[in-house]
Structure 1
């Protein structure tokens, strides 16, 4: 069953943010955000606490008024419209279900508030409950449901009004790990069946990477990178993204011909276009490293720890001249003993070089943060 409107044309993004900025007193939460989100896209806003992602979501919903910039939905300006007049729905972290109402009454509440006829309300509520798989729980109250079921009721209440855009603020944070993993798949399925655009805010990279078609990584109120989950992991464009997404060995040095020159004189091979001598970082994912005999490979060191993870293990190697142990992922049967000497063979074709911009000035980054 499809709830959303017809897909907008490929040349016209559904949601456009233009130079969006916002401050709380002297603290700037958003710095000139420019972003396009397509129709029927599952889009995630990802970042650490205080990065501005919730401020951005609340600005789209109409609960915050940005100091500067524009918000356009299908080409029409939203910025001046109050929240209740926007064709946008928001699903809150707490779900905000009415405990004294049944499941069907909770889902019907918004339609009844709009003055819809009883027959239409009954039909649309039935369709929504069928989509989320809770038809047989229609007469129950929220207190009689599991956390995952309550999450689905909140989602049904949001999609039954057929908004152009559904905003979700940390929708899975109240669930335990097992249910959260199940609901990640469920949300993606429901988004596809509902035929509408989802924009979800989360600080959980696994959640964003498993559900979203594209992810915007925010840091200190700025967009670091907007890309597919695969591209964010395999081709980060900044040191922050490389460090925040997944696990990576970050080798800091300076850009040189053919790679990154480390302080100990070694060169980590990597293709790049950075100016010679610029502060730079080689990004090496643990699975792109193979163990070799002592004294061979790109780097050599001493095994300091191993972590068994089932079919694979993570091995930490202390390399002279590196401040942190170097990690690699190997098959469980190949795990060397702690204290043994090993070589590390780095896959140069998969090594990414990025500018080391940690010293760059970021207005507001050192100030107290007031909103995530």
Structure 2
């Protein structure tokens, strides 16, 4: 039995003057899901969020919450709450009064307000700071106050617009875990807008990747990373080596390398991109004559990142260096000759007309590198 979604967005189109901000976007969001709208600036994600909240009126389409049309409902009547990027706290009110403000405005009884504020203050770990004012709090603490104020009204859907963008890197990483914990604890559906793919990948159950007002792909973080549906998704989600070429009967012909024999279902001659993540590039020092399934290159530089290092390798015939990730420190010094093999990879049709229809993951066992007689060397 299929469970009906909590929120259904159907063919939503938004226009500002001559600019189309959303081109008929459709997606479903499930009950108790942590959902992310991800994409670069100007992709339409905030317009979609504001349309759900009621602050924007789409030119076409429907937005339904549990089957109820939201578009004819004013923002204050919708069972939806929105946490803004600026937090918008009242500087003259204490933490607990900030959290209680929405309930007081709705005329909720004093005893009920005390109970609900107490519960949510415990959930976001703010109880010891109840009497402080926002100016006496850190950025992370103010973020939790804004979150508590949004949750205390018990909306069916909580919308968060770039909620962590004002925090420094260390606090932001901590708050990502905190948001995920809290979402599970309160059992509420969260929809977060972000341009930070690392943030979306770490928190969301599913991610909608938008580009120029269109939905490129809707999938779990794992699916987006392992089987991107377009070249844009492959480049936007994580780090990737992108090898552009054309489909042949036996594989993908990459300019400068020759034919890479990989399984695919593309038509011969169709533009395609082979996506190889850095952790799936296997490096070894050059040893003797080149063997089958091996590329050769020269180390351009190495970057130590703590638990791993990234190695940049120049391969003749390729327009950009290949990147490989190796554990810890690396033995590959600048200028050293190395051999490369590809492990697992993905294959996408280049900017397909219908994003989401072509991306496939190619397992390690089916992903040989370029044969020795076609590989480039330095």
Inter-partner Cα distance in structure 2 for 1:259 and 1:165:
46
Whose relative contact order is higher, 1 or 2, with alpha carbons under 8 Å and at least 6 apart?
A: 1
Please show how residues 1-372 of structure 1 align to structure 2 within 5 Å: 11-294=3-286, 295-296=290-291, 297-332=293-328, 334-347=330-343, 350-357=344-351
Note closer, same or farther for the CA distance 1:252–1:69 as it changes in structure 2 (3 Å cut): same
C-alpha RMSD of the superposition: 1.6
Aligned to 1:367: none
5+ unaligned residues in a row in structure 2: which ranges? 356-378
Inter-partner Cα distance in structure 1 for 2:330 and 2:168:
34
Note closer, same or farther for the CA distance 1:68–1:133 as it changes in structure 2 (3 Å cut): same
Could you give the per-residue CA deviations for residues 195-216 of structure 1, whole angstroms, max 9, x where no partner exists?
1100000000111000001111
- Aligned residue-pair number: 351
Inter-partner Cα distance in structure 2 for 1:311 and 1:140:
39
Could you give the per-residue CA deviations for residues 183-229 of structure 1, whole angstroms, max 9, x where no partner exists?
00000111111111000000001110000011111011011111111
TM-score normalised by L of structure 2: 0.90
Q: Structure 1 stretches (4+) deviating beyond 6 angstroms?
A: none
Query: How far apart are residue 68 of structure 1 and its match?
Result: 0.3
Could you give the per-residue CA deviations for residues 255-281 of structure 1, whole angstroms, max 9, x where no partner exists?
123321112252223322111110110
Inter-partner Cα distance in structure 1 for 2:88 and 2:20:
29
Query: How far apart are residue 65 of structure 1 and its match?
Result: 0.3
Does the CA-based 8 Å contact 2:257-2:317 persist in structure 1?
no
Inter-partner Cα distance in structure 2 for 1:269 and 1:216:
32
Inter-partner Cα distance in structure 2 for 1:209 and 1:331:
22
Inter-partner Cα distance in structure 1 for 2:258 and 2:155:
56
Inter-partner Cα distance in structure 1 for 2:41 and 2:331:
36
Inter-partner Cα distance in structure 2 for 1:322 and 1:158:
51
Query: How far apart are residue 320 of structure 1 and its match?
Result: 1.0
Inter-partner Cα distance in structure 2 for 1:153 and 1:137:
10
Inter-partner Cα distance in structure 1 for 2:224 and 2:144:
29
Could you give the per-residue CA deviations for residues 338-358 of structure 1, whole angstroms, max 9, x where no partner exists?
1122221111xx211101128
Note closer, same or farther for the CA distance 1:258–1:310 as it changes in structure 2 (3 Å cut): farther
5+ unaligned residues in a row in structure 1: which ranges? 1-8, 363-372
Could you give the per-residue CA deviations for residues 92-140 of structure 1, whole angstroms, max 9, x where no partner exists?
0000000001111111111111111111111111111111111121111
SS at match of 1:98: coil
Could you give the per-residue CA deviations for residues 38-60 of structure 1, whole angstroms, max 9, x where no partner exists?
00000000000010000000000
Does the CA-based 8 Å contact 2:95-2:132 persist in structure 1?
yes
TM-score normalised by L of structure 1: 0.91
Does the CA-based 8 Å contact 1:260-1:353 persist in structure 2?
no
SS at match of 1:11: coil
Inter-partner Cα distance in structure 2 for 1:177 and 1:205:
14
